[in-house]
Amino acid sequence: MDRERLLDLREETEDKLKSLELGRHPKAPELDDRFDEANQRLESILIGDISEWVGRFYRQRYQRRMNGEREEPLCKCQNPRCVLKRGELPYGLRRRGSAIRDSRTTGRERLATYLDGHPEAVVIDEALERQEELATEVSREFRDIQRAINQAVDDVVNDNVETVSIL
């Protein structure tokens, strides 16, 4: 899921929360908390550009490898001097203003291009896959929150209809 769609989904959900004035509804605090949690998760995956996400992910995985918590190598290439194996991101991924940050392509496309030249860099693939999984989870949570808001509104409307019909 792309960045703009996630941000639009967050905005739609936030607008529904604000405009429906569910403050008196018993589920309002829970929905607000769920929204805040989903929003924090969204921010954690969208901060900066994709190369920053990959950098953080890589550092975590490298540390796990050094601590013996990860058996799989970070890169499966045959080069013993591979920077990924030595605990560094490749120069093109960490250097500001490099080709990896060319404004004509998206960060994901630039990383895919890097992987075309170094397909053995499994940790980069893992980072991209994990970010996509998290984006899907957050998107699903925003849609679930919207459904819960709609249900809460339906409950209020039905309660009001029942109250009016009793009178």
Q: In the prediction, which pLDDT does 103 show? A: 56
Q: In the prediction, which pLDDT does 51 show? A: 77
DSSP H helices in the chain: 3-19, 28-46, 50-66, 91-94, 107-117, 122-166
Q: In the prediction, which pLDDT does 106 show? A: 65
Radius of gyration of the chain from its Cα atoms, rounded to whole angstroms: 22
What does pTM read for this prediction? 0.76
| Residue range of the domain that includes 14 | 3-166
Q: In the prediction, which pLDDT does 167 show? A: 45
Distance CA 71, CA 152 (A): 48
Q: In the prediction, which pLDDT does 128 show? A: 86
Q: Are 92 and 114 in contact (CB under 8 A)?
A: yes
Burial of 94 (C-beta count, 10 Å sphere; 0-12/13-18/19+): middle
Domain count, the chain: 1
Phi, psi dihedral angles at 26 (to 5 degrees) = -60, -25
- The tens-digit pLDDT sequence of the chain (167 residues) is 678 899 999 999 999 888 666 566 788 888 989 999 999 999 888 776 777 888 889 999 999 999 999 999 999 999 999 999 999 888 767 654 444 445 556 667 777 778 888 899 999 989 989 988 999 999 999 999 999 988 888 876 666 555 544 44
